Chain A
Amino acid sequence: DIVLTQSPVLAVSLGQRATMSCRASQSVSISSINLMHWYQQKPGQQPKLLIYRASNLASGIPARFSGSGSGTDFTLIIDPVQADDIAAYYCQQSRESPYTFGAGTKLELK
């Protein structure tokens, strides 16, 4: 199975940039298609798709969210961070079944 590694916690100040990483144990890219997706989950709510295929903003998601990366290394950036962004963030790969999730990064206020 492909293992996705995320840092457990990221502390950031409001208005600053938050950079979260997701590292895969093997490539999740096919040709130029990067099969990594990012979700936001607030307490008591279902996850919400933020970014699909590494860099594509999902419908209705603010432009302060962006994603990049290829192969095994992927990044989610929130710039600037707003209070409403305090949540857990998960990456998921769809390159190879099972389509595993990372353990999540909890975004906290510094």
Chain B
Amino acid sequence: QIQLVQSGPELKKPGESLKISCKASGYTFTDYAMQWVKQAPGKGLQYMGWINTQTGKPTYADDFKERFVFSLETSASTAYLQINNLKNEDTATYFCATGYWGQGTLVTVSS
């Protein structure tokens, strides 16, 4: 069956960086684009952008153009979200999704 399995929770300090992984199985990885979605605590879903899994070309929503990087390791059917120079407001659960959704990765940024 189709599954997206994300890496575990992260606790980071402001200014640090992190990289979240999203490993896909049960389908051909390059058949579907991958989107990334942020959900702050108690809030709704915020679209971050998507990455073309055939070309590796990322597209970012305006709020996520500065410190966020989408990447792929196609041979491992894995997508990545890197967040640089973490800020308190990055505290959220981050999801990867193709239609099916990963379980989410909780990122907590606190000094």
Indicate, yes or no, whether A interacts with B.
yes
Which residues of chain A have a CB within 8 Å of any CB of chain B? 1, 39, 41, 46-49, 52, 58, 88, 90, 92, 97-104
New A-B contacts (6) at CB < 8 Å, excluding given A46-B97, A47-B97: A49-B99, A58-B99, A88-B44, A90-B45, A100-B47, A102-B44
Q: A97-B59, A98-B61, A99-B50 are in contact. Are A46 and B95 (CB under 8 A)?
A: yes
B103 at the A interface (CB under 8 A)? yes
Question: Is the Cβ of A101 less than 8 Å from the Cβ of B44?
Answer: yes
Contact among B35, B95, B101 with A99 in the assembled complex (CB-CB below 8 Å): B35
Q: B44 is contacted by which of A90, A98, A99 (Cβ under 8 Å)?
A: A90
Tally of B interface residues using CB under 8 Å:
19
Query: What are 21 sample pairs from A and B whose C-beta atoms fall under 8 A apart?
Result: A46-B103, A46-B104, A47-B37, A47-B45, A47-B95, A47-B97, A47-B101, A48-B101, A49-B100, A49-B101, A58-B99, A88-B44, A90-B45, A97-B50, A98-B47, A98-B61, A99-B35, A101-B44, A101-B45, A102-B44, A104-B45
Residue of B47, B49, B50 touching A101 (CB-CB under 8 A) = B47
Classify the interface of chain A: helix, strand, loop or mixed. loop
Contacts of B95 in A (CB 8 A): 46-47
Task: Given A47-B95, A49-B99, A58-B99, check contact A99 B104 (CB 8 Å).
Answer: no
B44 touches A103 (CB 8 A): yes
Docked-complex contact B62 and A98, CB < 8 angstroms: yes
B60 shortest CB reach to chain A, Å: 8
Minimum C-beta distance from A4 to chain B (A): 10
